[in-house]
Structure 1
């Protein structure tokens, strides 16, 4: 219990450390101005001109990097990051990524911030996880990529983002379904599902991959009466 509290305090300290520093002391600024005025008097020698080449470059080590966390603090930060993703809270997600959160870390049901955002169509959170190095080939507890549930739910913009990010379009999950098969079998064949199938076909998805019953995507679309999707597949 005390270890979890300590990890939480450490994470809170890391986030507090991201706050901007206070302004330069006005008295110091005033004394520098006074010194410059004195140096400009007629009896003083001309000041040395500062050229760009005489200015020391900013060391690369000053660039902010995610902090190195202890194992306990890393686990707590990752846990909070997944919770923030599930709450569709992009502000908090951004803070926790900056504090060292791992967008590929998974909880006890194999959800990561990336996988959950993709499945649920939380596009702003999804973009943050992709920018932070999300593994586009990672899989959920059903053995599926983020693209498969996104296609099932008809999240058309999410599907567009995931395809552009390089998520495999022909991956088969543990149920024996591809993104296209799941888009057909687990929804209503409406405009969003038609758009998803259109996008998948344009990205090279193979409609001839059969489900565990031996049916192709076209056969399933025809069997369920989804005539528009069936036409898209025939005319690909």
Structure 2
């Protein structure tokens, strides 16, 4: 059965989101700059409908603002904003892993242990990023409420860029971060799991800001 129109539109709008995030993280789109919808559509070979849908998604995530009769503009993208994004991600994710530590569900723990084993066994950075996102999604799915999961999904687009633009962590460092949170979950240490997750995201935000500053984006 061919993909439905809704599926096609979703994939196309996600491509718009990825494209514009790349433009922002690479410094080609700056804070306050107007987004040219025609230019985006031409670059991706898309009609205006998925472009508008992608922009609505970015506005929901606070990346752009859509101003009636004026256009679409990039919201402030500075060090403080980036640090705030990672702080909020850490706090929200911390709630989810804290709940997991209280629940200590054997099936969820087994799933996370397998994912970390997969993480240990891989080296390519793209694959590392993919597995880390799988670990986070598994934790958020099992430990998050409907609202919490929705809020965390709003930040999901940032995560691949953490691996693309900064190299402050080795493969072993990434594994150690994931293991420390899982160890706290297994031990039933809800406060420790949340504290570790917040610290990890906070440190990631600082590394991203340093990398973007060094490249002249911030």
TM-score category of the 2 structures, normalised to the smaller one: under 0.3
TM (norm. structure 1) is 0.21
Q: Higher strand fraction: Structure 1 or Structure 2?
A: 2
Q: Which has the higher contact order (CA 8 A, sep 6+)?
A: 2
Q: Flag the structure with larger Rg.
A: 1
TM (norm. structure 2) is 0.22
